[in-house]
Amino acid sequence: MGDKVFTKPIKKQFEFDEEVAAVFDDMLHRSVPHYEEAQEITEFFALRYLQEGGRLYDLGSSTATLLISIAKKLPFDAELVGLDNSKAMIEQASKKVAAFGLDIVLEEADILRYEYKKADVVVSNYTLQFIRPLVREELVQKVYGALRDEGVFIFSEKLISHHKRLNKELIDFYYDFKKAQGYSEFEIMQKREALENVLVPYSEEENIAMAKKAGFGHCEVIFRWGNFATFIALK
C-alpha cells in the first residue's frame, strides 16, 4: 500500500499508529535514502557477530523487514527478537513473519524498561532519534550491558549538523530526494510539522560520544548519505 498519510492536513503529532503501520514499508523506502544499502551492511555485520545459539535484538523492529531478511540467511539456530511499542507495527510484523513461516519472536514492549537477556547483536534502525534525549543515553547503556563481550550495536540515525548553513543545505538536499520519490511539497511540510519535537536527531559526533560514554570501546560510521548514517559500536 502506498504512503498517503500526509496528503491531508495533520491533526496530531507523528505516531506509529495503524495508518502509518499499514504503509510503513513504502514510507521507509521513499523517505530514507539508500535504505536497502544501509540494511545490507547492517545484515552483514549482524550475521558476522551473531553466534550459533546466540541472540539478536531489533529495537523498534516495526514490520520486521530486517529480521525476516536475517532469518532467511541465518545458517544456524539463533534467537531473533523484535521489540516495538506499537501494537499496530507488531500486528503487521506478525502477519509478514507468519507468511514466511519464520521463527522470529515479536514483542510489544517498551525498550527502555525491557528486561534484556544476553545478546550478541543489538540493532536499532532510526529508533534512538525518537527517544527523549534525557533517557537516550540510559537506553544505550542498557544495550551495552545486555551485550556479551565482543558484542556489537548497529544503529542508524538521522543526523543534524551544528553548522547552521550546512545543516540547512543537508535538509534541502534531503527534501529534493523526497520530491524525487513522489512526495509533494505539502506532504513534506506536513510530515515535518508532525515530527516537530518527536524526532530529535543528534550529530554524528554526538552519537559516537554517546556510545563511548556508555562503555563501547569503538564506534564509527559505516554508511552515510547526507544527513542519514549507520553506526557500529563494538564492545
Please state, as a whole number, how many other Cβ atoms lie within 10 Å of the Cβ of residue 234: 16
Q: Read off the pLDDT band of 197 (50, 70, 90).
A: low
Instruction: Report which of 137, 128, 154, 157 is spatially closest to residue 215, judged by C-alpha positions.
Output: 137
Residue 17 pLDDT greater than 50, yes or no: no
* pLDDT value of position 167: 94
The CATH number assigned to the domain holding 155 equals: 3.40.50.150
Q: Rounded distance, CA 70 to CA 46, Å? A: 8
Sign of CA dihedral 164, 169, 172, 177: negative
Q: How many domains does the chain have?
A: 1
Model pLDDT for residues 67-117, shown as the tens digit of each residue:
999 999 999 999 999 999 988 889 989 999 999 999 999 999 999 999 999
Q: Collapse the DSSP code of 56 into the 3-class scheme (helix H, G, I; strand E, B; otherwise coil) and give the result.
A: strand
Tell me the H-state helices in 50-159: 65-73, 87-100, 133-146
Q: Beta strand 147-158 with 119-125: parallel, antiparallel or unpaired? A: parallel
CA distances from residue 154 to 15, 126, 207 in whole angstroms, order as listed: 24, 11, 12
Whether residue 203 is predicted with pLDDT greater than 90 in this model: the reply is yes
Structure confidence at residue 192 (pLDDT): 62
Higher pLDDT among residues 188 and 156, named by residue: 156
Please report, rounded to a whole number, the percentage of residues in the chain having pLDDT higher than 90: 68
Q: Whole-prediction pTM value?
A: 0.85
| Per-residue pLDDT at 32 | 83
Check pLDDT > 70 for residue 183.
no
- pLDDT score of 14: 41
Provide the 3-class DSSP secondary structure of residue 162. coil
CA distance 143 to 150: 13
Question: What percentage of the chain exceeds 70 in pLDDT?
Answer: 81
Residue 16 pLDDT grade (very low, low, confident, very high; cuts 50, 70, 90): very low
- Average pLDDT for the chain: 86
Mean pLDDT of 129-141: 93
DSSP secondary structure, 116-177, as one string: PPPEEEEEEES-GGGS-HHHHHHHHHHHHHHEEEEEEEEEEEEB--SSHHHHHHHHHHHHHH
9 pLDDT exceeds 60? Answer: no
Q: Which domain holds residue 69?
A: 5-234
Look up residue 215 and give its amino acid.
Answer: G
Average pLDDT for residues 209-213, to the nearest whole number? 98
Residue 184 pLDDT class (50, 70, 90 cuts) = low
